[in-house]
Amino acid sequence: MKFVSTRKALAATSAETVFQGLAPDGGLYVPLLEDVSGEAVNCQTLREAEEFIMSKIFDDLPQSVRTDAADRLLSRFPEEDPIPLVDVCGMKILELFHGKTGAFKDVALSMLPVFMKYAANGKRVLVLTATSGDTGSAAMQGFAGVEGTEVVVLYPNVGTSRIQRLQMTTPADANVHAIAIRGNFDDAQAAVKRIFADKAMNDEAAACGVTLSSANSINTGRLVPQIAYYILASSRIGAEFDVVVPSGNFGNILAAYYAKKLGAKIRKFVVASNVNDVLARFVKTGVYDPGENFTVTNSPSMDIRKSSNVERLLWLLNGGTVDPEKASAETERLMRDFADKGRYELNDEAKARLFADFEGEVASPEETEAEMRRVKDECGYILDPHTAVATFVARKLGYPKEGVQTVVAATATPYKFPETCLRAFSADVLDNPPKSFKDLETLPIVQTKVVDVCDIDNAIREVFRR
């Protein structure tokens, strides 16, 4: 498999895309993947699904690396059924939250360290990660103690849940670092991208024997493993289905889009947004316009206005698999519009492709908590607020439709959001937390650094100069 960048069609191997994270042209790497949608695929276990995806996209990585990555993933999830598919209120809930930190990010971030260690080939790597709540803790867990790597997580000082914050501030491994910023996720992500593009900063890190990379879903090593659980869901269902994904940085639903191209029987992709609704508006209009308003909500992992992975979708919508150079030129134009005007609009052909595959809607914080109550009262199932956004949006749009099953990606455990659950249910319904969550309450706080956005670079320098 060969990869190219979304802006100048720069070619790269799988290992290079993992090691670099962001492409040198400022874009993201995308696989030159043959579209085989409609072909049968049958993977009845998570291992089979991951091996299948890696054989299609990471086929130039040694088999031993791919096997080690799958082994590491399975060692960190329940052995019997790592990703259950359960019936709840007429929909199927794909439970992606049974890893160490209780969020879907644990799937890919259990595998990325294996890919990264191979790609680094003995070099020291500093993995920069922006997080709105879940990626940071999953990255710290995934890379904790991994030789040759340092991890720096940038997270908003205000907005994460107490549990999310504890998951980032209690890890004591010497190679993991959490830094709170006086800003939001967009500020953190912008800083990561800017640092990657800063030649002087990269040269300074190199002089210290360090290469900068990323654990965000801009990295192919984050995105590729996520495709597998949609292949697994499709194999288990054995028929066409619609998928609803609570969406922030767009990586999870993009993984579903790739899964369809590799044979998953997905009919429609439904983007579920909170009131930071740029993605829902985009899939309705073909116009990406973050606007000026940013709201801290009860679904904090979706409090994002500038979603990186949309750039990969732009490339696909503009015919990237047929004419990569033409698609890259159009994607570069759109991203230039975004830099200059703060917004961009798809051409008519790309809009038609977008509207054919995607829908989107919004749930307010009040609607989210009402949905949590409804599902518990009617079905005895407790949703986390992000998944409640998804089930609310699904119902609002009339799913399930036309006898086709609806699969909702459950992206986090409710135990990560006890404050919201207490407010939604007016009672403590979280009576059996996982041991890792119980332990958080007694662990000392060791990650205490808080910086202004303008001081992020110096905070990063402190780490790679150690």
- pLDDT, tens digit, 9 for 90 and up, residues 289-323: 998 889 999 999 999 999 999 999 999 999 998 99
Nearest Cα residue to 376 out of 346, 420, 409, 332 = 420
Give the pLDDT of residue 300.
Answer: 92
Active-site residue identified among 100, 105, 117, 376: 105
Give the pLDDT of residue 132.
Answer: 85
Phi, psi of 24, deg, nearest 5: -60, -25
C-alpha–C-alpha distance, residues 116 and 15, integer Å: 8
- The letter for the amino acid at 343 is R
Q: Judging by beta carbons within 10 Å of its beta carbon (0-12, 13-18, 19+), is residue 390 exposed, middle or buried?
A: buried
Give the pLDDT of residue 292.
Answer: 85
- The letter for the amino acid at 172 is A
Low-confidence ranges of the chain (pLDDT < 50): none
- Quickly tell me which residue has 């999870």 as its tokens: 252
C-alpha–C-alpha distance, residues 69 and 67, integer Å: 5
Distance (Å) of CA 201 to CA 110, 112, 176, 209, 239? 28, 24, 20, 13, 50
Q: Return the bridge partners of 266, or none.
A: 241
| E runs forming strands in 319-396 | 344-345, 358-362
Give the pLDDT of residue 179.
Answer: 97
- For residue 143, the tally of other CB atoms under 10 A from its CB is 25
Give the pLDDT of residue 232.
Answer: 98
Contact 372, 425 (CB under 8 A): yes
Give the pLDDT of residue 244.
Answer: 98
Nearest Cα residue to 245 out of 272, 214, 223, 267 = 272
Q: What is the DSSP string of 124-193?
A: EEEEEEE-SSSHHHHHHHHHTT-TTEEEEEEEESSSS-HHHHHHHHS---TTEEEEEEES-HHHHHHHHH
Active-site residue, 105 included: yes
Q: The tokens of 56 are what?
A: 């299609």
C-alpha–C-alpha distance, residues 102 and 412, integer Å: 6
C-alpha–C-alpha distance, residues 100 and 139, integer Å: 11
C-alpha–C-alpha distance, residues 300 and 296, integer Å: 7
Q: N- to C-terminal Cα distance for the chain?
A: 37
Q: The tokens of 39 are what?
A: 């072909």
Give the pLDDT of residue 353.
Answer: 98
Is the pTM above the cut of 0.85?
yes
C-alpha–C-alpha distance, residues 303 and 76, integer Å: 28
Give the pLDDT of residue 60.
Answer: 97
Contact 284, 393 (CB under 8 A): no
SS (H, E, C) 406-449: EEEEECECHHHCHHHHHHHHCCCCCCCCCHHHHHHCCCCCCCCC
